[in-house]
Amino acid sequence: MTHKTFFCIDAHTCGNPVRVVAGGQPLLRGNNIMEKRLHFMQEYDWIRRALMFEPRGHDMMSGSMIYPPDDPDHDASILFIETSGCLPMCGHGTIGTVTVAVEQRLIQPHQPGLLRLDTPAGLVEAHYQLEGKKVKSVKLINIPSFLYAENIQVDCPDLGMLTCDIAYGGNFYAIIDPQPHFPGMEYFRAEQLISWSRVIRERLNQQISCVHPEDERIRGLTHVMWTGQPTRSGITARNAVFYGDKAIDRSPCGTGTSARMAQWYAKGKLKKSEPFIHESIIGSTFTGMVEAETTVGGKPAIIPSVEGWAKVYGYNIITVDEDDPFAFGFQV
Ligand code: PYC
C-alpha cells in the first residue's frame, strides 16, 4: 500500500455519523459477510483505522462498506467499521447506509421499498419510505435479540456497587438503570459516563463471558447503556450508549434499542406491537417495537424493529498515503 483512495458518502443517523465507503473497498474472501469480516479484520484493518480515527475521523466515527450479496435473493451485504472495530451489527449504521444506498442508487432492490441485507449478525430487513427522491425513514427488522443475564453486580469508580442486566441486540450491552447509587444519566456529563463505562466494561468482561448461543464468533460485552428519564412527554425511555473508547452514541442506538426492548419484554414492561420511543443523549428518537417472539439457543428472544431517519451531508474522497505519518489514524 503506498496510496489508496476511498470514495465515501458521509451521512448521520439521528445525529450519529455514518461514513459509507462506496468505492475503494478491498475484495474479501469468504462465503458470507461474517467470513469476509474476519478476512477484513486480519488483512485490512488499516482501512478502518485510517477512515475512522483522527485526523480523517473522530471518536464517534462509524461507517460501513457495501458488498454484493452472497445469497442471490438478498440485496447486499454490509460490513460495519467503527472506532471500536467491526461490529456484528449496527442499527444507526444500517439506517444511514440504506438512506445513502437508496438516494445514491448504490443498491438495486429486488422489491421497491425493501432491502434485504446480510450483516455479520444475520439477515436484517430494511423497509424504507421515500419522499420524492429522498429517504424519509427506514424501519429495520433486526436480528433476534434477548436478555442474556440479570442482576449482575459491578463495582463502579465513584458510584460504588451497581446492578446491571446484559442484553443482546446485535452487540452485547450492559444496561444500567437508575438505582440507589445511580440516579440516572441526566445527572452526569458525557465525559463522566465515558470514563465509568470503560472501567465497568472491562470489569464485566472479566466477571462474565458473553457469547452468542448460536454463533460463538459473536462474543464480548462491547457497549454500556446508561438510562434515565426522557426530556419530554410522549417518549418511552432515554439512554446514553458508550462505544469504542470515547464515544457516546448521538443516536438512540439501534442495537441498543433492540437489546433494551428484549430486556423490557422479558421483564413484562413492554408488550408486543407497543411503540417503544427511545431518546438519545441529544434528544433524537427511534421508534422500536417487538414484532414477534422467537428463540435463540432454546431460550426466549424477540424480533425487534427499529425505525429512524438519516441525512446525507457530504461526498468525501479520502486519500491514505504511506508518506503521511498519521495515515492510519491516532487516538489521544
Ligand atoms: O445503532 O446499533 C447502533 C450503534 C452501535 C454503536 C453505535 N451505534
ipTM at complex level:
0.99
Residue 156 falls in the annotated catalytic set: no
Domains of the chain: 3-141+311-321 (3.10.310.10), 145-297 (3.10.310.10)
Q: Return the SS3 of 247.
A: strand
pLDDT at site 35: 98
Mean pLDDT across the chain, nearest whole number?
97
Report pTM.
Answer: 0.98
DSSP string, 33-98: HHHHHHHHHHH-HHHHHHHHSBTTS-TT-EEEEEE--SSTTS-EEEEEEETTB--S--HHHHHHHH
Atom of ligand 1 nearest to the CA of 256: 2
Q: Is 143 near ligand 1, meaning CB less than 6 Å away? A: no
Give 256 Cα–ligand 1 centroid separation in angstroms. 7
Residue 90 falls in the annotated catalytic set: yes
Of 197, 245, 253, 280, best ligand 1 pocket probe by most atoms within 8 Å of the beta carbon: 253
Residues near 234 by beta carbon (within 8 Å), at least 6 away in sequence: 277
Residue 274 one-letter amino acid: E
pLDDT at site 1: 60
Q: Which of 8, 14, 86, 90 is catalytic?
A: 90
Instruction: Please tell me whether the peptide bond between 55 and the residue prior to it is cis, using omega within 30 degrees of 0.
Output: yes
Q: With contact defined as beta carbons under 8 Å apart, do 26 and 47 qualify?
A: yes
pLDDT at site 49: 98
Q: Is 17 near ligand 1, meaning CB less than 6 Å away? A: no
Residues of the chain with pLDDT under 50: none
